[in-house]
Amino acid sequence: DIQMTQSPSSLSASVGDRVTITCQASQDISNYLNWYQQKPGKAPKLLIYDASHLQTGVPSRFSGSGSGTDFTFTISSLQPEDIATYYCQQYDVLLTFGQGTRLEIK
Amino acid sequence: QVQLQESGPGLVKPSETLSLTCIVSGGSISDYYWSWIRQAPGKGLEWIGYVSFSGSTTYNPSLKSRVTISVDTSKNQFSLRLTSVTAADTAVYHCAGDTMSSTGYLFDYWGQGTQVTVSS
pLDDT tens string B77-87: 999 999 999 99
Averaged pLDDT, B100-111:
91
How confident is the model over B22-76, as pLDDT tens digits?
A: 999 998 888 899 999 999 998 999 999 999 988 899 999 999 999 999 999 999 9
Please tell me which of the candidates B47, B108, B113 has its beta carbon nearest to residue A46: B108
CB A88 within 8 A of CB A34: yes
pLDDT at residue B103, rounded to an integer: 86
Instruction: Give A9 to chain B, closest Cα distance, Å.
Output: 11
Instruction: Give A36 to chain B, closest Cα distance, Å.
Output: 9
How confident is the model over A10-28, as pLDDT tens digits?
A: 999 999 999 999 999 999 9
pLDDT at residue B95, rounded to an integer: 98
Give the mean pLDDT of chain A. 97
Indicate yes or no: CB of B107 within 8 angstroms of CB of A44.
Answer: yes
Q: Which residues from B are below 8 Å from A42, CB to CB?
A: 112
Of residues B104 and A73, the one with the higher pLDDT is A73
What is B63-105 written as a DSSP string? TGGGEEEEEETTTTEEEEEE-S--GGG-EEEEEEEE-S-SSS-
Q: Which residues from A are below 8 Å from B100, CB to CB?
A: 49
The set of residues, in sequence order, having a beta carbon less than 8 Å from that of B92 and lying 6+ positions away, is: B38, B39, B113, B114, B115, B116
Q: Is B110 at the interface with chain A, CB within 8 A?
A: yes
How confident is the model over A29-53, as pLDDT tens digits?
A: 999 999 999 999 899 999 999 999 9
Averaged pLDDT, B106-112:
96
Residue B91 has pLDDT above 90, yes or no: yes
pLDDT at residue A99, rounded to an integer: 96
Averaged pLDDT, A65-81:
98
Instruction: Give B94 to chain A, closest Cα distance, Å.
Output: 8
Q: Which of B3, B5, B45, B93 to mutate to test the interface with A (most CBs of A within 10 A)?
A: B45
SS3 state at A2: coil
Q: Which residues from A are below 8 Å from B110, CB to CB?
A: 43-45
pLDDT at residue B53, rounded to an integer: 83
pLDDT at residue B102, rounded to an integer: 83
